Amino acid sequence: MADQYAGTDLGEQPPAPPPLPVLRWAEPPEGPVVVLLDQTRLPAEEVETVCTDVPALVRAIQTLAVRGAPLLGIAGAYGVALAAARGFDVDAAATQLAEARPTAVNLAHGVRRALDAHRAATDKGATPEEAATAALTEARRLHTEDAEASATMATAGLALLDELLPGGSHRVLTHCNTGALVSGGEGTAFAVVLAAHRAGRLRRLWVDETRPLMQGARLTAYEAARNGLPYTLLTDNAAGSLFAAGEVDAVLVGADRVTADGSVANKIGTYPLAVLAKYHHVPFIVVAPATTIDPRTPDGAATEIEHRPGSEVTQFTAPTPGATAGTGTAGGTPLAPLGTQAYNPAFDVTPPELVTALVTEAGVVSPVTRGGIEELCARSRQVTIS
Ligand SMILES: CSC[C@H]1O[C@H](OP(=O)(O)O)[C@H](O)[C@@H]1O
């Protein structure tokens, strides 16, 4: 392929960048808050949003100011801690947080962990302050666990890439954003890409722009640039031609929910990549922490897929405080005639038979089967308990 696509040349490799302040708990004099990097403003601006109550955090989740399955779980847990610390109705807060977005099971999981910690403390006679502290401690534990899971998955994922693609440096295609912006650590699939880069085995990262909210163009390219990766952006509809040209060695994506049979719900546009990978005999690898596995949802058909406003498809909205790109708020630039109806599912489902391997911190499953999922769940409970 013509060398004009040889990857964004960043010249001298910059030193590893400081960690992104993606989400943190703070206790200023006026009371505890959850502070998050507003992802709707990236890459143009690095702006923090301070959430002083649960409705503000719910809005941040719904507008994707904070997003990405593992980080949604962490945000949900801190949201319960925030409600408890500020004397709000904790049960009502937990319901509002868990229902803010339906597909990423991590959100409900994180809310549940903090809520259970709060209830357990209360049941043991803890004061409201002590119960609030218990919820915060659990949120912090989940935050740390996710960072550790990210590092484990990065190592396991790179070992798998080296096993599947011996002897070379890898050309990886990824979809949406799965880096530090979705994680307590360096991410899921993107953490594997980072590990390959640091090991000198990333030849190129192909970055799907990921319509309509452009998580790839806005966020993955931002993380790739700040880490000095050789990356090339492409429109989603250009991916097929890359496979046809033999330019993709592996596909690495994240997940929002892995069901009991191994079906993978992930950003819309993932399923077509899995079909392309199958047709072109390219490994299709899903990287997700065990908190993304949901054994209670039997299969992909039972997975609730979030449908978002059609205006995200029919309009472009320049990043403004609290507005999701394309939400049709004042000032949106029409990309279609006004009144155009748009189909806008935020996720699709990839059946397990199209997944080469599922990489988690509890182990790698390949092929992806119901039994393999059950084994991961059993192992992750052991990991959690230990
Ligand atoms: C590995 S979690 C990242 C996951 O979340 C994204 O969805 P969204 O940006 O709507 O939160 C997408 O599905 C990514 O794969």
pLDDT above 60: residue 58: yes
Place of tokens 């993606």: 22
Residue nearest to ligand 1 atom 4, measured at CA: 68
Q: What is the ipTM for the molecules in this complex?
A: 0.96
Three-state DSSP class for residue 380: helix
- At position 189, the amino acid (one-letter code) is A
From CA 356, how far away is CA 358, in angstroms rounded? 7
Distances (CA, A) of 211 to 172, 237, 347: 19, 10, 11
Question: Helices 128-164 and 105-123 meet at what angle, rounded to 10?
Answer: 150
| Band (201; pLDDT cuts 50, 70, 90) | very high
Side-chain-facing half-sphere of 207: CA atoms under 13 Å: 27
Question: pLDDT of 270-302, one tens digit each?
Answer: 999 999 999 999 999 999 999 999 999 999 999
Place 13 in a pLDDT band, splitting at 50, 70 and 90: low
Alpha-carbon span 194 to 192, nearest angstrom: 5
- Tell me how crowded residue 70 is: count the other CB atoms within 10 A of its CB: 33
Minimum-distance ligand 1 atom for the alpha carbon of 69:
2
Q: What is the pLDDT of residues 241-250, one digit of tens each?
A: 999 999 999 9
What domains does the chain contain, in order, with CATH numbers? 23-145 (1.20.120.420), 151-379 (3.40.50.10470)
**Å from CA of 357 to ligand 1 middle:** 18
Catalytic residue among 236, 256, 261, 348: 256
Nearest Cα neighbor of 145 from 287, 301, 290 is 290
Known binding-site residues for substrate equal 67-69, 101, 215, 266-267
Given a contact cutoff of 8 angstroms between Cβ atoms, the answer to whether 88 and 42 are in contact is no
Q: How far is the CA of 69 from the centre of ligand 1 (A)?
A: 6
Q: 253 alpha carbon to ligand 1 midpoint, in Å?
A: 9
DSSP for residue 374: H
162 is catalytic: no
Q: What pLDDT shows up at residue 327?
A: 44
CB of 178 shorter than 6 A to ligand 1: yes
The pTM of this model reads 0.94
- Pick the range with the lowest mean pLDDT from 12-26, 112-126, 238-252, 335-349: 12-26
Round to whole Å and give the CA distance between 122 and 115. 10
Give me ligand 1 centre to Cα 141, in Å: 22
DSSP secondary structure string for all residues of 13-58: PPPPPPPP--EEEE--TT--EEEEE-TTSTTT---EEEE-SHHHHH
Distance of CA 198 to the CA centre of its chain: 21
- Asked if pLDDT for residue 385 goes beyond 70, the answer is no
What is the spatial distance between Cα 313 and Cα 326, in angstroms, rounded to a whole number?
A: 7
212: Cβ below 6 Å to ligand 1?
no
Residue from 107, 312, 345 nearest 214 by CA: 312
Residue nearest ligand 1's atom 13 by CA = 267
CA distances to 162, 170, 205, 228, 285 from 201, in Å: 9, 6, 11, 14, 17
For residue 336, the one-letter residue type is A
- Is residue 264 within 8 Å of residue 355, measured between CB atoms? yes
Q: Which pair of structure tokens corresponds to residue 4?
A: 């004009």
